[in-house]
Amino acid sequence: MISIISGSNRKNSECLRFATLIFERVSQLAGEPTKLLALEEIPHDWFFPEMYDKGKQNKGLADIQDEYILGADKFIFVIPEYNGTFPGALKLFIDAVSVRQYKDNFKLKKAGLVGISSGRAGNTRGMDHFTTVLHHLGASVLPNQLPISRIHDLMNDSGEVTDAPTLEVLDKFIRELLDF
């Protein structure tokens, strides 16, 4: 199974719109189960000091971990640029799910990274930082990361990406991850 994770907890984010596009395209190309997890849509009642105690982990978070993290063989993280790197909400989520069954979460699994930004670099620095986190957790990261720059210019008023070159590189990225 492939889990696509929209790495922002901001409501109505472009990150989720782009992650949804990726979900649709992966579902068409993969021929295997694919799930989309939007950090903006999950309950946030697991953020408290005892979240690092295995015995006190929130049941809702454990259910999300079971379905989207433990159940996945591959991941696509869609990572918006926040202050020159990746969002703190994404790091907090990774920390929270790493309390229970640490080795089974990401170790020996594969991940592809898509960076999005309103600027010119497509969050390359954030993808580099997040690669370091995933390597520490034992995941292999697809070398061909996908930086998407000027996300505002690529989406129409309905939030759809219609830019043909962007869709072409996205499909190439997806095929590479499937073969990875």
* pLDDT above 80 for 179: yes
Confidence of residue 32 (pLDDT cuts 50, 70, 90): confident
* Counted domains in the chain: 1
Higher pLDDT, 51 or 71: 71
- What are the structure tokens assigned to 62, written together? 């454990």
In order, the DSSP letters of 50-95 are GGGSGGG--HHHHHHIIIIIIT-SEEEEEEE-BTTB--HHHHHHHH
Model confidence pLDDT, tens digit, residues 71-109: 999 999 999 999 999 999 999 999 999 988 889 999 999
- Determine the pLDDT at residue 1: 95
* pLDDT above 90 for 49: no
In the three-class reduction of DSSP (H, G, I as helix; E, B as strand; rest coil), residue 120 is classed as coil
- Determine the pLDDT at residue 158: 78
- Determine the pLDDT at residue 48: 76
- Determine the pLDDT at residue 173: 97
Residue 110 pairs with which residues in a beta bridge?
A: 74, 140
Confidence of residue 58 (pLDDT cuts 50, 70, 90): confident
Q: Half-sphere exposure of 140 toward its Cβ, with a 13 Å CA cutoff? A: 8
Give, for 124, the enclosing helix (H) or strand (E): helix 124-136
Confidence of residue 67 (pLDDT cuts 50, 70, 90): very high
- Residue 127's domain spans which residues? 2-179
* pLDDT above 90 for 3: yes
Rounded to the nearest angstrom, the gap between the alpha carbon of residue 179 and the centroid of all alpha carbons in its chain is 18
Confidence of residue 24 (pLDDT cuts 50, 70, 90): very high
What CATH number should be reported for the domain holding residue 138?
Answer: 3.40.50.360
- Determine the pLDDT at residue 104: 94
Residue 85 phi/psi, 5° resolution?
-155, -150
Average pLDDT over residues 34-45: 91
* pLDDT above 90 for 54: no
Model confidence pLDDT, tens digit, residues 105-162: 999 999 999 999 998 889 999 999 999 999 999 999 999 999 999 988 888 877 788 8
| Gap between the Cα atoms of 96 and 146, Å rounded | 26
